[in-house]
Amino acid sequence: MSTFRLSSLIGNQAMSSAVPPRIDRPEGAATIVPGSGRSAPVQSNEPADRQGFTIPELVVSLLIIAVLLSILLPVILRAHEAARRTQCQNNLKQINLAFANYHDIYNTFPPGYVSRDVQPTDAADLETGSGYAWGCLLLDYLDQTTLLAGIDFNLEPTDPLHYGIASTVLPTWTCPTDENRSAFDVDVAGQAVVLGSASYVGCYGYGSLTTQPGAPTGPGILYRNSHVPIFSIKDGSSNTIIVGERASRTIISDDQLPIDANATWYAAIPGAFRPAGIPDHPDFWEGPASLVLSTVGQDEPFPFDSLHNRTTHIGSFSSNHPDGFMAAFADTSVRFLSDKLDPVVLRHLTQHSDGVPVGEF
């Protein structure tokens, strides 16, 4: 009896020792491969980490970026244009202040440009000397005394002594929207004269800059040999433009490439004629006054009215601002004039004493 129990106990213990105890391994731990001394990886049921985007995710991301750009880009462009318009406005305010200071000293606004030995009714082809413009006469009031000191008004604007001055581009005369602003040249009897460009031109009024540069049909404040005091502005200084913008490249018509309409602060160079840019009259040329002055229309030798940024003439006001151009008025104010402004109203704004009230504009 005792023997059976002992043998049974021994047998149970032997069986128990033959079964290895269970050892719980951490998940992902290596398993020793018998006889190899190496461990084999244990496969896990967890999904592997994915790298990159799937195609649907990429498409959705691109769509989101496109939507954000479509929202933000116009805002950014409007902000840039607002900054450029503000800079342009500040330029004209400085020029307007220079006009006021000049008037305080001489009791008149400066001439549009100076020409010797001509009658008011003489055409541009009779101009033989000088040509120094209103911008040149304002240098002393725009912190450009050094530049002014280099000009000998007893010499012609085209004298070699003035080459460096004539080609100077002044920041105050440059609208930031006009990216083409640089020195340009005009042909005078086969000789290239290099001039510093400007974004602003004096207001001549209504009439031809070539056939009647000294006697506008409807006079503005600035024309050849003009001397207009502020008390002679019968329509009110707040209703009379003295200076406005001109883009260096002007759109004449949809079926024609933009044409050069460069202006300068320096001088209306005698003998400097260039194409007027009229599609129906390619043989018409514009005289020196168009370098420093702007007209809003004429009756002869062919009639036209300015259409602002969609102009019909290189001598018109224009700009690269959307929807209009900046103009300085004789009361020292600066305003933005819309392309939608009636050309008849614009004509009255450029004439200082036509007696026609314009009301709100």
Q: What CA dihedral angle connects 109, 92, 214 and 317, to 10 degrees?
A: -160
Q: Give the least confident one: 36-45, 47-56, 194-203.
A: 36-45
Q: What is the mean pLDDT of the chain?
A: 83
Question: For residue range 169-213, what is the model confidence (pLDDT) as tens digits?
Answer: 999 999 999 877 789 999 998 899 999 999 999 999 999 999 999
Tally of CB atoms within 10 A around 82 = 10
- DSSP E strands in the chain: the ranges are 31-32, 39-40, 113-115, 130-133, 184-188, 191-195, 197-198, 200-206, 218-219, 241-245, 249-250, 259-260, 263-264, 274-275, 285-286, 293-295, 297-298, 304-305, 324-329, 334-338
Single-letter amino acid code for the residue at 210: T
**CB contact at 8 A, 172 and 142:** yes
- DSSP E strands in 16-129: the ranges are 31-32, 39-40, 113-115
Cα distance between residue 152 and residue 137, in whole Å: 12
Domain extents for the chain?
Answer: 83-350
Cα distance between residue 233 and residue 240, in whole Å: 8
For the residues 272-293, what does the mean pLDDT come to?
86
Cα distance between residue 345 and residue 308, in whole Å: 12
- pLDDT grade for 361, boundaries at 50, 70 and 90: confident
| Buried/exposed 175-186: b ≥16 CB within 10 Å, e otherwise | bbbbeebeebeb
Q: Which residues contact 154 (CB under 8 A, 6 or more apart)?
A: none
Q: Give the least confident one: 58-62, 85-89, 248-252.
A: 248-252
Q: Which among 214, 235, 262 has a CA at the least distance from the CA of 329?
A: 235
| Buried/exposed 20-33: b ≥16 CB within 10 Å, e otherwise | eeeeeeeeeeeeee
Whole-model pTM: value is 0.77
Task: Provide the 8-state DSSP code for 329.
Answer: E
What per-residue confidence (pLDDT) applies to 99?
98
Which of 42-46, 135-139, 284-288 has the highest average model confidence (pLDDT)?
Answer: 135-139
